[in-house]
Structure 1
Amino acid sequence: MSATAPSATALPTLGVLPVTHVSEHGRPTGYDVIVVGNGALGSSAAVELARRGASVALVGPRHRPYAASTAAGAMLGCFGEVTTTLVENTYGQTKFALDLRAKDLWPEWLESISGGLSDGRDILTANGTTVLLNSVGTAGIDTDNFHAIRATLEKHDEPYETVDPSDVGWLDPDPNSRPLQALHIPGEHAVDSGRLLLRLEQTARDLGVTLIDGHAASVLGDDGQSRGVVLEDGTSLTSGQVLLAGGVGTQTLVDSVPGLGDCIPRLVAGYGVSAVVTTQDGTQPESVIRTPNRAFACGLHIVPRGAGRVYVGATNIITPQPMADPVMGDLLFLLECAHRQTRRNLWSSAVSGINVGNRPISLDGFPLLGETPLRGLWMMTGTYRDGLFLSPLLAKEFAARMLGGEPELDLEPFAPERAPLGGMSREAVLDTTVEHTLATGYEQHWNVPTGWQEFFDVGLKPIYAQWAEELDPDFTPQPDLLAAARMEPQIALWLKTYYDNCRARFGKPGPPAADSVGDHVRRAAELLTATRVTTPRADALTLAAHVLPGEDPDLDAPMSAEDAQGFWMLVGRRAGREPLEYLTGRARLFDLELAVGAGVRVPHTRTEAMVTEALARCGSDHPRVVDLYTGSGAVALAVGALRPAAVVTGVDVCATALDWAKRNAEGLKDRVEAELDFVRGDIAAPDLLSGLDGTVDLVTAAPPNVPDHVHLIPELATHQPAGAIRSGWDGLDAVRSVAATAARLLTGGGVLAIEHYDALADAVIEIVRAAGFEAVTSHTDREGHPRFVIARRAA
């Protein structure tokens, strides 16, 4: 490829180069390696290359305009950055594997750049990281990301501690933004980015690196080989190895070589604002305090900086070009969030400095790591917030590769020239884009009538779907880039051009890989959330486990088309509010698995409390028991399992319910040793089981008990038999029948246990007393709601 400037004499690509060229400014112009970019990545690479004996020029203006490194909070951690989209994305997992390698290098790295004066810990500014889950964001992002952080910590055996937010020192948020949960990660610290860069600069100088205060304007190259760079002042620096580590500024150099960037995803700017605040009371937290990442951006983070100062960060807005000055709205938003969510007296504190940085973000959202098609020209970028954190790891890896050593890391997925990296289906991208778009509003406390909120989800998705199709029929950008391109025509044009070039070079993408079980579960949970199912993710997981073999499905495994069809059929029924137990055909009481389905009421685990208390009151080891309104036979079977010597009769007026009860008795005959039978009959009939009058030790009942006029959720009101749920205008018709029948059947001192609608406890007590019972007591279920009454038949 030809370059835009005249080429220099060809030079060897390896080995220490004798410096024979000198510019008019008196500095050498020939080097083994030229590193463009003096942020954390470039400076670290220059240091590592020089340590290995290379002559190195490090090019970059000393004041580092637009740089991400100078504006960074410099948090040294990867677990606090975890999101659900990261762990569910194949390429995200690959990048996280690099983060895991990097985290262990920092203690030795800091010591190595401290000139023997310290162990490097003196530039650490925080002792660990505390992650807060507060009430500001949205559950689908903040809560899920918080749980993803904890799950990833546990997966990798990284120490952490669950803490009470009220015990987090220094924290004093606005009561409307108080944290709900917190965890502390003792191994994730932070450094002062300014002091880090100074130490890297001094170390580089001590190692003989030539520091060039200026901009590189273009790349020299011919015959497919890089030859160096041309500076803005016209000076040509020559080398067969050039490393572009200049963040967003790298794009200018790629553009200087015609055709080079056709299939290299272009770098755009993740413009962000941070601030340094001198606190009013001279205090600062001991650790980093941060929220999970949220709404197309990083989470809010407070980093101690010493002398009563804290770093407050950071916003993230994708823009076509880097920005040098803060946008007022972004600055106000950041400062509002800081005092409201972390410490109220920040409102009265002094803003000592405002930082503007521009993170490099490629058009497919992943880093550019490796050699370009122009031999000897390398690219090294971070993405979002991990460039500084990865700098020691990438510096060592690139130094080895560029000087002929063996690579240790698998960087192939992130090679600069590539087809767009995805890792998410278009459907998942659209769902995530909608979710994060709305979350930006909730984070800023927009005032939207609650009843309107559900319409935004429904309305935004087809808009983004149409936009994604307009951008490209085959390729889909990451969610933040999809949203940004809709507002920035230049980014949209770059995406379209990149996609066209990649299609011509690599062909259309193959059929999308089968979505993983986790992908299906996530989308199902979103649908169930929209239809107001109370436990959407748990239900989606249960349905996946029901469809797939094994008790605990692998969320990372692909789901076959056949399994997906069965899964989504069940999800659709659950979205229609059909009871989960009807869909799986199973319910549990104690450790008994019961078959249930249409025509029978679903037993609830709260009934376990009544059964346990009733048997505790019934002293006989071989009691005669009658279970009224037996339904699926759940209570009768539980009593029979817990008292093997009992004789139990279940009664119900509904033939369908009795069919389910008999089916369960047959299925559990190896588990239930008690003598058991089921009888059809009207509970209110005066001759029901008349042969047992005065002989029964225990009567149990979970009768219909909801007043006819009470509004119920669709699972109860629409799908389960009304005769098993409702019981007259006051909800007490069945209770009256149970009390009268139990009074006749029970022996003197016999026990009645009757479940009831929680609001009717007092009325049930009166009915039971009036029927001739004594020692009447009201009891709560495991959730603390008044749920059943226990009484004794008067002698």
Structure 2
Amino acid sequence: MPHTPQQGRETGFDVIVVGNGALGSSAAVELARRGASVALIGRAHRPYAASTAAGAMLGCFGEVTTALLDNAYGQAKFELDLLAKDVWPQWLESISGGVSDGRDLLTATGTTVLLNSVGTGSIDTDNFNAIRATLEKHDEPYETVDPADLDWLDPDPNSRPLQALHIPGEHAVDSGRLLHRLERTARDLGVTVVDGHASSVISDGDQVRGVVLENGESLTAGQVLLAGGVGTQDMVDSVPGLGDCIPRLVAGYGVSALVTTEDGTQPQSVIRTPNRAFACGLHIVPRSAGQVYVGATNIISPRPLADPVMRDILFLLECSHRQIRRNLWTSTVVRVNVGNRPISLDGFPLLGETPLDGLWMMTGTYRDGLFLSPVLAKEFARRLLGEEPELNLEPFAPERAPLQGVSRESVVDTTVEHTLATGYEQHWRVPTDWQEFLDVGLKPIYAEWAKELDADFTPQPDLLAAARLEPQLVTWLRTYYDNCRARFGRPGETSPAAGDLVDSAAEFLTAARVPAPRADALALAAHALPGYSPETGAATPVPTEGAERFWSLVARRADREPLEYLLGRARLFDLELEVGAGVFVPQPRTEALVTEALARCDTPRPRVVDLCTGSGAVALAVGALRPDAVVTGVDHSADALRWAKQNGDKLRSRVKAEVDFVEGDIADPELLAALDGGVDLVTAVPPNFPDRLQVVPETSVYQPATAIRSGWDGLDAMRAVAATAARLLRKEGVLAVEHHDALTDAVIEIVREAGFDSVTSHTDQNGHPRFVIARRAAA
């Protein structure tokens, strides 16, 4: 039903602009310049507005984050930002009424971005690097700065910056003076400025007719532009059904402060950090002499707030003196500002005409409304007055299905990452290893919460986190999602990109303390995703069954199951060996033992025995490198011998020597008795860890204990190997045995006592003493 006022007078205009912040005031100016009769509605003191509390930084590069540019919608928004950065000089001059060129509104010369040690590397460092990479991509001038050379910077030593870069083309304006100048320009152009509040929209069928003020007065117009930030939502709600599929606007409540410095100084440029956990970065903006603006916090709230929360004031001021300049501690706080940024339920701006003819919406999101105001003002003036549009705003049309820029999995990962980062930003003290526990614990919680919230759609990370604490947000999100499903149908399933899966898996494995998380994630991807390679397949969509197979392996690796078990193979030299439960995983370090042992054994057609053969890796490597050899592998484990024989059969074409495997106990004095005194080379990789020694889970939990541990001192098997080798070897025969690096001296003594001489110790590829080579004494 159309809303028709029952009282008050009517006044007609071409366009009514609701909202007198930077966006609404700029649009009113641009419309009036083009000859339209315009009413600009908003309370003079602008309660709840974002513009009045803004730092008013005129830059887009300093706002770059990895999350902004990792999806098509964020990139489209950044393209608008790029247009805006070039418009501001002319725009400031155009609203200065000939009294100046507009530069008197500027309060800062350039922006300096700091990377300090306060946040987390996965957010602060990555965003800092993203800023630099984007500057370079767009050929925007910048310079790397030594933080020690920044005169005004004097942070607490615990928060000192690690790196800095200066962007000379990104300035700041005084938001209060900017709004005053916009209003004066609007009045000079004939705009009717209404100090009041619009309470509802007047419509006639499918056509807008005007608005009703809170005092009952009606203003009529053929076009109405809602540019009132988060307050726009009340106007949408006044038209039944209009907002069903328009993502609702909620408040990004934040505080900033105006501070008079104790020593009367201020920086020349904006000083800021990259954007941080669920919020903008800390920033200091010079204002009038001796004063600086300190901003800003950001908390999702279902409704705008007018008064600052103590928590946010304390946090903001604490950050400013610790991270930027210590003597801000003794400065005076002139004013605390409260602002409410408009945040839509899908995290992107609302730009365009609504389903109600003549009713338009124009919002910023998070931090860019003021910055985009000249560009959007010009574009909307063209559209409202029937001119040809110049910008593609179609992705951000108000009525739409939720814009899902990234996968649900990526949203969950980001939510967890930023949740933990808020703690580090506030200097929480937790035990060193707790972050991994928290990370691993939070991911399934948020994943389950996202699934519970909706089966198809996932909100932005900050909204996902906030919705767990705000039941009203849950209701709004579910209602919007249900309406969109009914209107647009269920969204098509978006397959995650292989590269995104690998990135997420690497983070997950890092949290699980896997030693080489990224390398393992890449190996599992190559194994589970046919055709994947990191060089060419990062953007390849992965079907559901492939993703499930991959994540099943990642979960097992996070439980520290050996990578080789998951892949089903290990390598020694160029031999691919099958391995799995029940057998020791051969290690690359053993290649050095095999190479050195064969170099010492120059007998033609050597007879070789490999004790503790396990998977048969050493026996088969010897057989591949010495085709004239005759090799016998021995192990007491029937499970291990099954793997060894399986590998022997598989590698028959590669291993030309005669190789067989037998079951036996290396301590048995009758083992291979027929070969006594006739063997040229004995190799062994026996169990060599002391029972009491703490060993990584990949070894201690999953691989057979009898292949790992060997008594209290770790030398039980070594004694048996030395005794059996002394019996089997001919005089001058060679023994090559691997050992634990901490037991070198004890192993040398055992080998000597067993009847060997020429005993030498050798290191592996990492320089650790790892194996001993000895000759059977001639006497």
C-alpha offsets along residues 682-718 of structure 1, whole Å, 9 cap, x if unaligned? 888899896575xx8xx98765432222222321123
Task: Compute the TM-score of the two structures, normalised by the length of structure 1.
Answer: 0.75
- For 1:110 and 1:356, the matched residues in 2 are separated by 28
**2:558 is equivalent to residue 579 of structure 1:** no
Aligned-pair CA distance for 1:380: 0.9
Contact 1:113 1:203 in 2 (8 A): no
The one of 728, 740, 744 aligned to 2:711: 728
Write the deviation string for residues 372-423 of structure 1: whole angstroms up to 9, x where unpaired: 1221221111111232343344334323322333334443332212344445
Contact 2:144-2:166 within 8 A present in 1 as well: no
Match of 1:362 in 2: 344
Indicate the residue corresponding to 1:672 in structure 2.
Answer: none
The within-5 A match list for 1:348-747 is 348-423=330-405, 436-437=418-419, 439-441=421-423, 443-446=425-428, 477-495=459-477, 497-499=479-481, 501-502=483-484, 506=487, 509-510=490-491, 512-517=493-498, 520-521=501-502, 524=505, 528=509, 532-536=513-517, 538-548=519-529, 549-552=531-534, 554=537, 556-587=539-570, 596-604=579-587, 652-654=633-635, 655-656=641-642, 658-659=644-645, 662=648, 693=680, 704-733=687-716
Change (3 A) 1:590 1:176: farther
**Equivalents in 1 of 2:764, 2:229: separation in Å?**
66
State the AA in 1 paired with 2:525: A
TM-superposed deviation, 1:82:
5.2
Query: 1:172 & 1:690 partners in 2: Cα distance?
Result: 78
Cα 1:484–1:105 change in 2 (3 A) is closer
Paired residue for 2:115, among 111, 116, 132? 132
8 A Cα contact 1:528 1:574, kept in partner: yes
Measured after TM superposition, the shift of residue 502 of structure 1 is: 4.5
| SS of aligned partner of 1:653 | strand
SS in 2 for 1:395: helix
CA drift of 1:246 comes to: 1.7
Residue 323 of structure 1, CA deviation: 1.9
Change (3 A) 1:392 1:724: farther
Is structure 2 residue 247 aligned with structure 1 residue 265?
yes
Which segments of 5 or more consecutive residues in structure 1 lack a partner in the other structure?
A: 10-22, 24-28, 670-674
Cα deviation, 1:17-49, whole Å, max 9, x if unaligned, reads xxxxxx9xxxxx665444333333334434544
Change (3 A) 1:645 1:425: closer
Task: Give runs of aligned pairs for residues 119-198 of structure 1, distance below 5 A.
Answer: 123=106, 125=108, 127-130=110-113, 132=115, 134=117, 136-137=119-120, 174=156, 182=163, 184=165, 186=167, 189-194=170-175, 197=178
Q: What TM-score results when the alignment is normalised by the length of structure 2?
A: 0.77
Q: Which letter does structure 1 place at the counterpart of 2:257?
A: A
8 A Cα contact 1:127 1:189, kept in partner: yes
Cα distance, 1:247 vs structure 2: 0.8
In 2 relative to 1, CA 565–502 (structure 1 residues): closer, same or farther, beyond 3 Å?
Answer: closer
Distance 1:650 1:150 in 2: 60
Residue 326 of structure 1 corresponds to 308
State the shift of 1:228 in Å: 3.9
Residues 187/391 of structure 1: CA separation in 2 closer, same or farther (3 Å cut):
farther
Residue 254 of structure 1: how far off its partner (Å)? 2.5
- Displacement of 1:203: 9.1
- Give the one of 314, 319, 322 matched to 2:296: 314
- Name the structure 2 match of 1:69: 51
Counterpart of 1:106, as a letter, is K
Code of the aligned partner of 2:567: T
Partner of 2:638: none
Tell me, yes or no, if structure 1 residue 2 matches structure 2 residue 9: no
Give the distance between the partners of 1:593 and 1:161, measured in 2 at CA.
50
Q: Which amino acid aligns with 2:302?
A: P
Q: Residue 420 and residue 236 in structure 1: after superposition, are their counterparts in 2 closer, same or farther (change >3 A)? A: same
Post-superposition Cα deviations, 1:338-359, rounded to whole Å, max 9, x if no partner, equal 3444555543444444222110
Q: Does 1:114 align with 2:93?
A: yes
Instruction: Say which of 5, 11, 18 aligns to 1:36.
Output: 18
Identity %: 60
State the match for 1:103 in structure 2.
82
Q: Deviations over 1:278-303 (max 9, x none)?
A: 55564648564314421x33344445
**Conservation of the 8 A alpha-carbon contact between 1:581 and 1:597:** yes
Aligned length: 753
User: SS at the partner of 1:719?
Assistant: coil
Deviation at 1:321, TM superposition (A): 2.5
* Partners of 2:520 and 2:563 within 8 A in 1: yes
Aligned residue number for residue 20 of structure 1: none
- Whether the 8 Å CA contact 1:4–1:257 is kept in 2: the answer is no
